[in-house]
Amino acid sequence: MNQPIICFGQQPCGFFPKRYLAAKILTARHLQKEIGGEIVFFFHDSDHDPRETTTILQDQRTNEDVALNFQFANRIQKQFSPLYAKRVLPAWQEKTARQLPRYVSRFLAAHFKENRASNVANFCLEMYTRMGLLAGIRVQRSSASDFRARAVAVSDYFVDTQYEGEIVRARYRDGKLLLHKGGDRFVEIPGGEFGPEQISPTRDTRFVWMQSVIRCSHYVAGASEQHYINKADAPEVKFVKRDDISDSGKAYTELS
């Protein structure tokens, strides 16, 4: 009999993860205790939205919230590069490391300072690992060329391509590569041939694409996922609502 595969998915969601990611992890661990099997984290580091990594912390002296985020090398990289291609600026890390003792424990601040990852996705994943959140969990990354090569073809997708010296994530539509400039505005960029290793899914095709590789038996879904995932596409999967957690959009700052 096949062992259960318990999966949850998430973009990099802050250099300290948002509390809703911690809730997904805890839900998966509780389920694993009940039914056994393996936990898989689908790390969607192909996403490009810089707002995803906003990290909301609380000042320990004033109890006020502060929103911190990575700084980016240039406008193209900030707006359009996938998270695995957004570079971590050493000056930003040094400045932020000096601020962190106001918001988190000295142990967590030290982990941040010692993190040597050169891109945003790796930096976040390294922090989640250092915090002990991913112990015993297999990580599958949407940016990995072998994952992409194995995934089923989908009709709606993005293509990672070179543009003005950066890797960007362009929407493929009607034979064109498009960058979203906001509202209804798009700019077409040059594009040649591309293969599966450059393709990542849109929100609506992401689950089918992911499931074609991971083949999970159970999926821990967040609040928004409950609405947009078409569960009819995966009748073999049991969808599990993640545990409730307070202040779900704020940073989780506990060490396991």
For 107-153, the pLDDT digits (tens) are 999 999 999 999 999 999 999 999 999 999 999 999 999 999 999 99
CA neighbor of 28 nearest in space, from 208, 192, 196, 220: 220
Which amino acid makes up residue 82? P
Residue 210's contacts (CB-CB under 8 Å, 6 or more residues apart) are 7, 9, 42, 142, 151, 201
Label residue 191 by pLDDT band (50, 70, 90).
confident
Let me know if residue 195 belongs to a domain.
Answer: no
If pLDDT is split at 50, 70 and 90, which confidence band does 183 have?
A: confident
Mean per-residue pLDDT for 6-35?
Answer: 98
Whether residue 81 is contained in a domain is answered as yes
Domain that holds residue 70: 5-144+213-241
The DSSP output letter for 49 is -
| Number of structural domains the chain divides into | 1
Q: pTM of the prediction?
A: 0.96
Are 143 and 48 a contacting pair, CB within 8 Å? Answer: no
The answer to whether residue 42 is domain-embedded is yes
CA distance 180 to 172: 11
151 domain residue, yes or no: no
d(CA 95, CA 132): 25
For residue 83, being part of any structural domain is answered with yes
- Helices 90-99 and 106-114 pack at an angle, to 10 degrees, of 170
In angstroms, the Cα distances linking 203 to 19, 47, 50, 114, 218 are 21, 10, 16, 34, 19
Residue 161 vs residues 158, 168, 170: alpha-carbon distances, Å = 9, 6, 7
Please report the pLDDT score of residue 226 as a whole number.
Answer: 85
Q: Does residue 206 belong to any structural domain of this protein?
A: no
Q: Mean pLDDT of all residues in the chain?
A: 96
